[in-house]
Structure 1
Amino acid sequence: MPPCSTAGGGWATGPPASSASTSWCGLRLRRHRDVGVGLPLNALFGGLPVGGWAAIAGVVGLVLVWVQRYHAFEKFMTVLVLIKFATVVFVAILVGPDVPALLNGLVPRLPEGSTVYVLGLIGGVGGTITMAAYGYCCSRRAGRARSGCR
């Protein structure tokens, strides 16, 4: 079977090698859609197989695009995100964390003997960013002045 790859002029970035390649990739992607969409809907509502829920989600998406009602879908998703946020806050309050211990965790501390590792980490990250910024600085300065960076 042909691979379903997007690298190197695959079916998504260039013309497909054959209709068999396109069909094979379409079948593989359909299986992923079935799992990614149908499985959660089946777990929430049940009653239909996973593929049935995936087909319903596909038809709903097609109708939303067809009638150009993305704005309604966007509002619906905003409401779901707000519900999710409220649920997380409610569960955090329900669990009742130890607030002094939580605030104590915000105070920066280094474990015993870790100073060398922390300095190495700071130097590695800072040095990398400095080298990238230096090259950018040189290219910008070379455009404005004849001297460039030294």
Structure 2
Amino acid sequence: MTERARTLADPALPSICAGVGLAEGEFIREVLDRVGDKWSVLIIATLHDGPRRYTELHDAVPSISQRMLTRTLMLLRRDGLVTRTAFAEVPPRVEYALTPLGLDLHSISAALVLWARGHHEVIRGHRALFDASLDKPSMAK
């Protein structure tokens, strides 16, 4: 875990939402939606191993359509998380790579993956209990 992630996880810090205005809150939500969607997470994880060509990315990310890969790469580039480098070669070659900002995001998402892997049995147990409680008739009338 990075020093920044440890700092953000410190329970002594005041609520991270304290003092966040409406416009800033909307922007934060928009960024979290972008970086937290399933395609962005998979693309960022794939690019962590180094630059990839479009076809390599398409082959490495299961079930993604070409349209969705193109759109997600464009949005990641827009946010400064991914670069696109075109090489003046025949045939033309284009590679995508993580920026320093994208690498920083990868370390944070990797910590979330480790957390999920370490707690999946507990979470599945809670889900089973919750789902079972929905099957029982309600005591309240």
TM-score band by shorter chain is under 0.3
Bigger radius of gyration: 1
Bigger relative contact order (CA 8 A; separation at least 6): 2
Higher helix share goes to which structure?
1
TM-score, normalized by length of structure 1?
0.22
Higher strand share goes to which structure?
2
TM-score, normalized by length of structure 2?
0.23
